[in-house]
A and B are shown apart, each in its own frame.
Chain A
Amino acid sequence: MRANLPSLIQILLVCSQNRLRSLTAETIFDGVNGHQVRSAGTEDGARIRVTAGHIG
Chain B
Amino acid sequence: MEKRHLRRLRQKFREELSGKHVLCLYIPDDYEYLDEALIERLRRGVDPHVEFDARARQDCLARGWRPAEFPSLIPVASRSRGNSGVTSHPKSFGMRRFIPAFLLALTLTAVQLRAQARDSTPIALLSRLYADFAWEATGGDDGPGSKTFSDQPKSALLRYVEPELAALLLRDAACVRRSNAICRLDFAPLWDSQDPDVADVSFTHSAARPGTVVAHLRSRTGAETLVTYRMRRTSAGWRIADIQYRNGLSLRTLLGGAKVAGS
Contacts and interface: CB of A to CB of B under 8 A. Distances in A.
Interface of A: 1-7, 9-16, 19-25, 27-35, 42, 50, 52, 55-56
B76 interface: yes
A9 B33 contact: no
A14 B24 CA distance: 10
B34 interface: yes
Contacts of A33: 51-53, 76, 79
A33 B80 CA distance: 11
Nearest to B35: A24
B100 interface: yes
A14 B4 CA distance: 12
Given A21-B29, A29-B57, A33-B76, 13 more contacts: A2-B47, A2-B48, A2-B121, A3-B118, A9-B108, A13-B103, A15-B27, A16-B1, A16-B29, A24-B35, A32-B56, A33-B53, A35-B50
A11 B105 contact: yes
B57 A1 contact: no
Interface string B14-32: 0011001000000101011
9 contacts: A1-B91, A4-B115, A9-B112, A16-B100, A28-B57, A28-B67, A29-B57, A32-B54, A34-B76
A10 B111 CA distance: 13
Nearest to B4: A42
Given A6-B115, A27-B34, A50 B9 contact: yes
Interface of B: 1, 4-5, 8-9, 12-13, 16-17, 20, 27, 29, 31-35, 38-39, 42-43, 46-54, 56-58, 61, 67, 70-71, 74, 76, 79, 81-82, 84, 87-88, 91, 100, 102-108, 111-112, 115-116, 118-121, 123-124, 127-128
A3 to B, nearest CB: 4
Given A16-B1, A28-B54, A42 B39 contact: no
Contact of B33 (A2, A12, A19): A19
Contacts of B34: 24, 27-28
Contacts of A30: 71
User: Which 10 residue pairs are nearest across A and B when measured between Cβ atoms?
Assistant: A55-B16, A14-B103, A3-B124, A56-B16, A10-B107, A12-B105, A1-B123, A31-B71, A27-B67, A42-B8
B74 A21 contact: no
A28 B51 CA distance: 13
A25 to B, nearest CB: 5
Nearest to A10: B107
Given A2-B48, A55-B13, A55-B105, A21 B38 contact: yes
Given A1-B84, A6-B112, A28 B58 contact: yes
Nearest to B77: A33
A7 B108 CA distance: 10
Contacts of A22: 102
A32 B35 contact: no
A2 B42 contact: no
